[in-house]
Each structure stands twice: as C-alpha cells, then as structure tokens.
Amino acid sequence: MSFSGWLIITDAFLICIAILTGGFQGNVALLFGELQMITFLSTAQLLLIASFCALTFREIKTNTHGREAVGGSLVWLFFASAFVVAAMDELFMVHENLDYAIHGLLGIVETAVSDRIDDFIIFLGAVAAFCVLFLARRGLRRFSSVRLLVAAAFAMSFVMIALDAGTNRPDLFGDGDLRIWMAVLEDVVKIAAEAMFLIAAQRCWQTARL
C-alpha cells in the first residue's frame, strides 16, 4: 500500500477511536482536547511534514548549483522551519497563551472579538505561508503534480481556522452538543489538512530525489 493509503487509513482509524472512546465516556470531544490523543497525532503529522521539507531541501541543495540551488531550496527550509513552529504551537498552545499575554499586557477586557486574537494570528500565519508559496512558484514548477493537493490543504486549513474561531466561545454555536460536535469537526478538518500537506511533502521529496 502507498504512503498516502496508510496515512489516510491511520488517521481515519484514530479519529474513529477518539470519537467512540469519548462517546462511551460521555464526552465525544474528550480525546480531541489539548494534550490528548488527537493533539499528539496532529503534532506528529506536522513534524513529519517538516522532516520531508527538510529532506527535500537537502536533496535540492546537494543536486543543484548556483541560483537554482539557493532559490529552489530556501523555500523548503522556510517550510521545514514553519511546520516545526506549527508543531510546537500545537503541543505547547503557544498562540493561545499569546492571546492571554496580549490581553494582560494591553489591559484589554476580553470580548467576543478580542478572545479570537489567537485565531487571527493563525490566520495571518496561513496567509503568509500561502504568499511565500505563491512568490516561490517559479522555483517549484517541478513539483506541479501536487499543486491541487496543496491548494485543497490550504482551503481546509482556512475552514479549520474559521471553525476554531466559531467554537472559541458559545456565542455562535451555543454551549451544548452543537458546539462540541463543531469542535470535533474542526479537529477532523485539521487532521485532514495536515494529511494533505504530508502527502504532498512526501511526494515532493520523492520528486527531488529523481
């Protein structure tokens, strides 16, 4: 079975286990919480993406020379670093804590808008990553086979950010089962987006080795 096949089956299996386990214990979102099983799955996927980006950087740096080596490899170094940062954020809740720090430093009273500062930070990060990818597109033409996959991954990432913002407080989905299921959906979409990025990164590494 291919790498993508194993990844999809593993993610689907773990998500089903998380939902069923939480359901039997009376809280379907139990294993989707911070520092629970889905957090570790997400962190692992982000670190794998970073690893494939780093491997692709090394392949291009080793096998090409001059401007092509610099321009074509630096974008992979950027994304390797970016996904390591994303993994650390996932594991240590950096942007959530930054939200609290901003409120404290500025003396802001938490509101429905200010409470979503952390979601806006993640949104800006995703936009910045997309802009870097767009600006580096000429140097990435050899990897055009994953273009649609990466575009779909970015689209799902923005959906995930919107769901995260929507479930941050009970003002949009209430404080009952709907909000819980939307929070679960947010994590499922996140895992799916990461899986798409991971499949794309692995295929790019394979292409770089040719």
In a domain, 13, yes or no: no
Whether residue 136 is contained in a domain is answered as yes
DSSP secondary structure string, 181-205?
Answer: HHHHHHHHHHHHHHHHHHHHHHHHH
**CA atoms of 51 and 65, how far apart (whole Å):** 22
- pLDDT at position 5, please? 95
Q: Is residue 104 part of a domain?
A: yes
Residue 12 lies in a domain: no
Q: What is the count of structural domains for the chain?
A: 1
Interval 25-65: pLDDT, tens: 999 999 998 889 999 999 999 999 999 999 999 998 887 76
The answer to whether position 11 is within a domain reads no
- Give phi and psi for 136, each to the nearest 5: -95, 10
CA–centroid distance for 140 within its chain: 21
Query: Does 181 map to a domain?
Result: yes
Q: pLDDT tens digit string along 76-119?
A: 999 999 999 999 999 988 776 677 777 777 777 777 777 788 88
Residue 201 has pLDDT above 70, yes or no: yes
- C-beta atoms surrounding 196 within 10 Å: 25
Name the nearest CA neighbour of 45 among 208, 207, 188, 206.
188
Q: Does some domain include residue 126?
A: yes
pTM of the predicted model as reported, rounded to 2 decimal places? 0.92
Print the domain residue range for 73.
34-209
Domain-embedded: residue 44: yes
